[in-house]
Structure formats: structure tokens, C-alpha cells
Amino acid sequence: MRPEILFPLSAPVTSLKGVGPRFGKLFEKLGIEKAVDLLWHRPTGIIDRRFQPKIAEAPDGMIATLTVTVEAHQKPSNPRQPYRIRCHDETGVMFLVFFRVQGDYLEKLLPVGTLRIVSGKVEHYNDVVQITHPDHIFAAEAGETMRLIEPVYGLTAGLGLRIVQRAVEAALSRAPVLPEWLDPAYCAREKFPTWREAIATVHAPESADDLSPMTLARQRLAFDELLANQLALSLMREHVKRIAGRVITAPGALRRKVIQSLPFSLTLSQSAAIEEILADMAKPARMMRLLQGDVGSGKTVVALAAMLDVVESGAQAALMAPTELLARQHYKTLSNLAANAGVEVALLTGREKGRARTAILERLASGDIGIVVGTHALFSEDVIYQDLALAVIDEQHRFGVEQRMALAEKGRGVDILVMTATPIPRTLMLTAYGDLDSSRLTEKPAGRQPIATRTLPAERVADVIAAVKRALESGAKIYWICPLVDESELIDLKAATERFEELQKIFGPRVGLVHGKMKGPERDAAMEQFAGSGIDLLVATTVVEVGVDVPEATVMVIEHAERFGLAQLHQLRGRIGRSDKPSACLLLYTSPLSATAKSRLSILRDTDDGFRIAEEDLRLRGAGEVLGTRQSGMPELRLADLAVHGELLATARDDAQLVLTRDPELATPRGQALRTLLYLFGRDEAVRYIRSG
Ligand code: ADP
Ligand code: MG
């Protein structure tokens, strides 16, 4: 049970003073739903108001804090004119300027003859000193309560700095003193402040240095976060280990039939991966294996081989994909391949409804269906398997650990195989999965041609269209990707739709459109026509990002490439270069490019080595580039930065393991405090897996 001491922090952000439901939605955009999320919303900068000049010395363009006497209110005769308030000190005169003033609040705030402290950006306007809409106005006596150095936070349209600051302050005032969960010796050696002190310090930076990830306060919080993460993963793993696994072996007749029917032979690393997986399944312990392979490295057949052995042994296997689109595509591929061994594959997603769904559920319960492919619908409560023995999870990083567990609990000692297309740097791998066995597909299937990648400024779109025309004439299939960025989904969608219409005007009905807001069947129809015939040029938002497989596609245009994360661009590009024909990728960017965007694009131009790209991605994101983290679906770390806190991660992992060896039930006082830590970081599920005495 969530400890009561955390209730004030786990309350929704809208319960804080000054944050109504209207702001709730906006905070959600920043990933802030609960009060505690505000604590994790670190300042990105500071505003320094310590500069306190006299009026005559206040330079244009500077943030300054001035002490002035209010002299006169100059009310506008018409409301479109500014409301000006004349003030002075012993060196000169200045004006405070306000627009759209309603009521008499200014007369109350700034009565004539009083001494006031005002802070804001100084402007020199026709030789007159003025501040438009000062950030702060205080009576001189109350001036001490003004913060001379203010934290600056990431904002979103409609959510101003003051509101975020106040919300953070309100959340901070709710932050209780919590029992210490760190090892006392470690805490002392590192000179870490307490959690309460650390969180307060992080939100009260006094200089740019205080924003560094290496301050003691920040390191402490980063360590807390990593420890919660490692502890949760270890608990999960211990739990999995305690559930007995089962031995799955089969002569492999079905598997061999399907492999022999393939139009290609397996790569060495595919064969090796299959061996490793079969060996795991044959052991009495449960399998927890990661199958890592770059896009197009051929993970699907590897998974199918394992699933066929499961079927042959008389049990069932399920493959879960992150999206409807991918589930359908896997279903098509797998059912075609499995048919060669006379094995039927079923599909179960949110879209199977009514009688069709009931029929599938019945056949899963009776064991009539051996292999099922689907989305998270696969572990809906009413789905019952006769004997689920293997769960394959594709593009796993989009699913939470909890969902993984839910699927595993649908059977007895279910073996788990996780497939991921993003090669994951070691540090990320540890935070995402803990210590997991892993198989890597290191070769591209034989005969693949490298992809020629070019970067072009957006102004040259006419040249790109000309190139597309030539490619279409020579029979190519082409993706045209438009970005979809949360912030302004509708505007982006409009961009994709407009691009589609424009291209359709030029190239006619062979142009198609898919985007996330489209209804499933409509989108499938377009994808099918692109994979088959009817559509040769597909305008798409990032719904095609993961896993979509149309080998005939050899050209990809990506608009606003600068807006995508590196890993995501790599994923997208992996949709082409899947056949023996040469492929080309054109990255269109809009200037000016930030330094990181520039390096992202040039890395992509220079290499298609997924592991190198993954390392670079981490490095660049560590430099403060967040775009890409969310989209890649990696566990979101808010306080730890793996690019600089790698050592803390290693310590956190060792610590978590030590704790669980010594105190597996988390029953000691420190153990109890660690439970609070898990709840603090929203790892409620993990607490369920604590062994009870
Ligand atoms: P991913 O690892 O991205 O999921 P897929 O499993 O979708 O890759 O495979 C990509 C494409 O490569 C598919 O069309 C598949 O049939 C093909 N493929 C898989 N293995 C080989 C191989 N050994 N040789 C040639 N083509 C292969
Ligand atoms: Mg795939």
C-alpha cells in the first residue's frame, strides 16, 4: 500500500493551489500529472534580478530591479492605447507600461506617492526608460520576499513561467521529510544532502553552475531515480525467477519446414540466435531474452522459429506488437510463412470485436490456435490461453515492464523473448531491462545494398519532387514522411495533408496518405495498396516508423528531418534498403539548424551502423536534446542523465542487488524506506513483487 506520507505528492497537479483544471491539461503536455511530477520538472535556466541600478543607469535590454516612487497614472483615452505610469527616483524618470488594463487594479497596486520595487526588462524607447508589464511589483517593505534569482522552467503554449513556478513552489511545500533510503555510509561518503534538501536545492539555482547535472543535489536525485529503477527491475526479475519455468523441446519438424520454404537462407547470426533461444526454452528456468537487431536484420523469422517449436511441443505462443498496424503486418507475414508447415496463425487486436473475437477467444481457450499475433489486446482480462508457453514482444521498448509481466502471467512459466530494433547502448539497456540475456543479429541479410543518404535544405523541395518523378518512372516505391510532433499535432497533420494534395496533383491517384488519426481499416487499405499495387508514393506521418515492411520501397523523403531524434530517423530510414535494389534517403531540413540537429543529420549521412547511431544518440541527447527520448519509448529518466551519470547507474545496480540479497522482503527500516522510494518514483507495480515472508 502506498504510504500515506506520499499522498500529498501523488495527488493530481490540479489539486495544487492556483492550478485549475484548465492548466491541468497544459501541464499534462509537459508530462506533469501529479504533484510529484513537478518536483521532477527541473529548471532549465535562471533569471537574475540582482542587478539593481538607478533609473539613469538602467541599460536597455537588461533585466533589472528598481526602487521607484509612483508619480502619476496616465490612463489612455482609448483602450487600445497603453496605460502608462510615471515613476521616478533621484536620478530620473521612467514609465511602467501596461496594455489592455481592466478595472482599477493598477491604482491599488501602484498608488501615487508610494515607494515600489519593480522588476522586469528595461527598454529605452525614444530616450524614455520604461518597463512593459513588469514581472514583479512589490511594496518597498515587502521587497525582501521577492526572489532575486528565479528558476526558469520548460513551458508550453498557454502555461506561463509564473504559473509553473508557483505550482512547483506549491509542490515543494508539500514535499515531506522522508525516511532515508540510501545506505548511510554511501550517503556520507558522497556528502549527499537528504532527499528533501536535494529537491529544494535543485529548484533554487543561484547560478548557471547550479544547473549542472554534477551538483551534489542533482547527483543525489539522479541516484535515487536510478536506484528505484534498478530495484524495480531486480524485484521483477527475482519474481520471474521464482515462478518455475518449464521445459519446452520439440523435434523441430515444423520449424525446419518453414525455414526450408524461405526464399533465402538464414544469416549466421539468425541461426545462432535461434539456437540460443531454443536452448533457453529447453531449460527448466524461465527464459528472459532480448533479441537485438537493427531494422531489417530479420528478427521475425527468428521469433517464428521459436514459436513453431512451442506449437510442436503442444503449447501456445503469442506475439505482441506495439501498434495495430504492426500487428496486422506481422500477422500477414507469419501466417504466410507458418502455412508452409500447416500451422494456423490468429490475429487479436482491439479491432476484432463481437462474434469474430468470441470465436478467437474460444479457440485460444481450447488450444485450437497455436500462434496468435496482436496488440496489448492479447492480455485483456477475458483472454484465456489453453497453455501459453512463449510470449514474443516486438519493439518492446514501447511497452512498460508491467505489460510484459501481464502477458507472462497468462500462462505457466511463460518464456519471454523481447525483440528490439533499436540497438541499445549498455547503460540504457541496464535501465530498460536490467541484466537480461541477449542475442544480437549483427549482419544484414545477404545482398542488401547500402542506402545513399543526402541532406538538402527545404527550399530545394522542387528538385526533390523532380527526383521523385524520375524514381516513380523507373518503377520505385517511395515513402514521403512528414513529422508529427505532439505540440501542434493538428498543424502537422495539415502539413502532411497539404503535401499529399500537392503531390496528388502532380502524380495523380498513385499517391496515398496514412496518418495516426486515420481509422484503422482506411490506413490498412492504404498500406496494402502501397505494399501491393495502386499506391507508389505514400505520404505518411511517423506511423510507419517501426517495423513496417515493404521491401519494394527504395526511396524515402523525410521532411523536417531536423525535428526527429537520431534513433527515430534511423528507424524510419530502415524502412527502405530492404531489397537487393539500391535505395536513397533524402533528408530535408529547415534552417537554421541547431548544432545538435546538424550533427544528427551528418551522423546519419555517414553511417547506418545502428549501434554507432545509438551511442551517438545517447551522447547528443545527453547534451540536452530531449526530442527522441519520448519517441524512442525508453524509460523516461527525469533526473538522471545516462550520458553523465553512468557511474551512478553502476552503483545503483550493485546496491539494488545487495539490498535484495540481504533484505529480500524489504522488511528492515532501510527496506521500508526503499519501498517509499519505489512509490515515490511510481514503481507501485514493483512493490507487488516484493517477496512476502
Ligand atoms: P526486422 O528485424 O526489422 O524485424 P524483418 O524480420 O521484418 O526485420 O525482416 C526484414 C526483411 O528481410 C523481411 O522481408 C524478411 O523476409 C527478410 N529477411 C529476413 N531474413 C533474411 C535473410 N536471411 N536473407 C534475406 N532476407 C531476409
Ligand atoms: Mg520487425
pLDDT tens string 397-446: 555 556 666 777 788 888 989 898 766 666 667 777 676 788 888 887 77
Q: Which ligand ends up closest to the CA of 553?
A: 1
How far is ligand 2, taken at its centre, from the CA of residue 296, in Å? 7
For 248, which DSSP code? -
Quote the pLDDT of residue 326. 84
Q: Which ligand ends up closest to the CA of 301?
A: 1
pLDDT at 668 over 90: yes
In single-letter form, the type of residue at position 60 comes to D
Confidence of residue 631 (pLDDT cuts 50, 70, 90): very low
Q: Which ligand ends up closest to the CA of 300?
A: 1
Q: Which ligand ends up closest to the CA of 297?
A: 1
Residue with the smallest CA separation from ligand 1 atom 18 is: 298
Instruction: Map out the domains of the chain as residue ranges.
Output: 4-46+155-211, 50-146, 253-441, 451-607
User: Do 50-146 and 253-441 have matching folds?
Assistant: no
CA dist 380 to 407, 522, 670, Å? 9, 25, 37
- Nearest one of 158, 190, 207 to 43, comparing CA atoms: 207
How far is ligand 2, taken at its centre, from the CA of residue 546, in Å? 7
Phi, psi (5° rounding) for residue 586? -110, 120
Q: Give CA–CA dist 40/248, Å, rounded.
A: 45
Q: Note whether 555 and 584 are within 8 A (CB).
A: yes
Helix (H) or strand (E) holding 235: helix 216-242
Residues 6+ apart with CB under 8 A from 293: 269, 273, 299, 419, 421, 423, 440, 441, 442
Confidence of residue 244 (pLDDT cuts 50, 70, 90): confident
How far is ligand 2, taken at its centre, from the CA of residue 194, in Å? 45
How far is ligand 2, taken at its centre, from the CA of residue 505, in Å? 34
Phi-psi region of 97 (alpha: psi -120 to 50; beta: other; left: phi over 0): beta
Quote the pLDDT of residue 630. 39
Residue with the smallest CA separation from ligand 1 atom 17 is: 298
Residue with the smallest CA separation from ligand 1 atom 22 is: 445
pLDDT at 344 over 90: yes
In single-letter form, the type of residue at position 300 comes to T
Average pLDDT over residues 648-672: 93
Quote the pLDDT of residue 248. 94
How far is ligand 2, taken at its centre, from the CA of residue 323, in Å? 12
Average pLDDT over residues 256-276: 95
Helices (H) and strands (E) in the chain, counts: 25, 21
Q: How many CA atoms lie within 13 A of 418 on its CB side?
A: 25
Residue with the smallest CA separation from ligand 1 atom 4 is: 299
How far is ligand 2, taken at its centre, from the CA of residue 470, in Å? 30
Residue with the smallest CA separation from ligand 1 atom 25 is: 445
Instruction: Using most ligand atoms within 8 A of CB, pick from 301, 325, 329 the residue to mutate for ligand 1.
Output: 301
Quote the pLDDT of residue 369. 95
Q: Which ligand ends up closest to the CA of 571?
A: 1
Collapsing DSSP states into helix, strand and coil, what is residue 654?
Answer: helix
Strands 63-74 and 115-125, bridge-based pairing: antiparallel
pLDDT at 53 over 80: yes
Residue with the smallest CA separation from ligand 1 atom 13 is: 298
Mean pLDDT of the chain: 88
pLDDT at 626 over 50: no
Q: Give CA–CA dist 559/469, Å, rounded.
A: 17
Q: Which ligand ends up closest to the CA of 333?
A: 1
pLDDT above 70: percentage of residues in the chain: 91
For 192, which DSSP code? P
Ligand 1 atom nearest residue 266's Cα = 23
Q: Give CA–CA dist 577/373, Å, rounded.
A: 26
Residue with the smallest CA separation from ligand 1 atom 5 is: 298
Q: Give CA–CA dist 349/54, Å, rounded.
A: 69
How far is ligand 2, taken at its centre, from the CA of residue 334, in Å? 11
Q: Where is mean pLDDT largest: 26-35, 448-457, 665-674?
A: 665-674
* Angle ∠(114,136,27) on CA atoms, nearest 5: 150
Q: What are the tens digits of pLDDT across the range 556-583?
A: 999 999 888 787 788 889 889 888 889 9
Quote the pLDDT of residue 352. 87
* Residue scoring higher pLDDT (509 or 379): 509
Pocket (CB within 6 angstroms of ligand 1): 264, 266-267, 270, 293, 295-301, 421, 445-446, 547, 549, 551, 578
How far is ligand 2, taken at its centre, from the CA of residue 429, in Å? 19
Quote the pLDDT of residue 549. 76
Residue with the smallest CA separation from ligand 1 atom 16 is: 298
The total of other beta-carbon atoms located within 10 Å of residue 342's CB is: 8
Q: What are the tens digits of pLDDT across the range 194-239?
A: 999 999 999 999 998 999 999 999 999 999 999 999 999 888 877 7
How far is ligand 2, taken at its centre, from the CA of residue 569, in Å? 16
- Nearest one of 445, 432, 332, 328 to 375, comparing CA atoms: 328
Average pLDDT over residues 539-559: 80
Three-state SS letters, 255-295 = HHHHHHHCCCCCCHHHHHHHHHHHHHHHCCCCCEEEEEECC
Residues 6+ apart with CB under 8 A from 149: 46, 47, 48, 49, 50, 204, 205, 206, 207
Quote the pLDDT of residue 625. 35
* Residue scoring higher pLDDT (99 or 238): 99
* Three cell numbers, residue 163: 504559473
How far is ligand 2, taken at its centre, from the CA of residue 635, in Å? 20
pLDDT at 285 over 90: no
For 156, which DSSP code? B
How far is ligand 2, taken at its centre, from the CA of residue 329, in Å? 9
Instruction: Using most ligand atoms within 8 A of CB, pick from 259, 260, 264, 443 the residue to mutate for ligand 1.
Output: 264
Quote the pLDDT of residue 430. 72
Q: What are the tens digits of pLDDT across the range 70-85?
A: 999 999 988 889 999 9
How far is ligand 1, taken at its centre, from the CA of residue 441, in Å? 11
pLDDT at 169 over 90: yes
Q: Note whether 379 and 326 are within 8 A (CB).
A: no
Q: Which ligand ends up closest to the CA of 395?
A: 2
How far is ligand 2, taken at its centre, from the CA of residue 388, in Å? 22
Residue with the smallest CA separation from ligand 1 atom 9 is: 298
Ligand 1 atom nearest residue 300's Cα = 6
How far is ligand 2, taken at its centre, from the CA of residue 326, in Å? 8
Ligand 1 atom nearest residue 549's Cα = 7
Q: Give CA–CA dist 322/302, Å, rounded.
A: 18
Quote the pLDDT of residue 627. 28
Produce one character per residue of 227-249: b if its CB has 16 or more CB atoms within 10 Å, e if not.
Answer: bbbbbbbbbbbebbeeeebbebe
CA dist 382 to 22, 361, 363, 377, 378, Å? 37, 8, 13, 10, 9
Considering the domain 50-146 in this protein, what is its CATH number?
2.40.50.140
Q: What are the tens digits of pLDDT across the range 119-142?
A: 999 999 888 999 999 989 998 887
Ligand 1 atom nearest residue 441's Cα = 2
How far is ligand 1, taken at its centre, from the CA of residue 299, in Å? 7
Collapsing DSSP states into helix, strand and coil, what is residue 34?
Answer: strand
Q: Where is mean pLDDT largest: 10-19, 31-40, 587-596?
A: 31-40
Residue with the smallest CA separation from ligand 1 atom 10 is: 296
How far is ligand 1, taken at its centre, from the CA of residue 421, in Å? 12
Quote the pLDDT of residue 422. 67
Confidence of residue 346 (pLDDT cuts 50, 70, 90): very high
Q: Give CA–CA dist 454/466, Å, rounded.
A: 15
Q: Give CA–CA dist 675/453, Å, rounded.
A: 49
Residue with the smallest CA separation from ligand 1 atom 15 is: 298
pLDDT at 552 over 50: yes
- Taking domain 253-441, whether its CATH number is 3.40.190.80 is answered by no
Ligand 1 atom nearest residue 295's Cα = 3
Q: In this structure, which CATH number among 3.30.559.10, 2.40.50.100, 3.10.290.10, 3.40.50.300 belongs to the domain 451-607?
A: 3.40.50.300
* Residue scoring higher pLDDT (487 or 20): 20
Ligand 1 atom nearest residue 265's Cα = 23
Confidence of residue 330 (pLDDT cuts 50, 70, 90): very high
Please state which of the ranges 33-37, 53-57, 231-235, 621-625 shows the lowest mean pLDDT: 621-625
Average pLDDT over residues 153-182: 92
Collapsing DSSP states into helix, strand and coil, what is residue 604?
Answer: helix
Quote the pLDDT of residue 536. 95
Q: Which ligand ends up closest to the CA of 549?
A: 1
Instruction: Using most ligand atoms within 8 A of CB, pick from 268, 448, 549 the residue to mutate for ligand 1.
Output: 549
Ligand 1 atom nearest residue 574's Cα = 3
Quote the pLDDT of residue 460. 93
Quote the pLDDT of residue 417. 92
Ligand 1 atom nearest residue 301's Cα = 6
Sheet holding 477-481, edge to edge: 451-457, 583-589, 553-558, 477-481, 537-540, 511-514
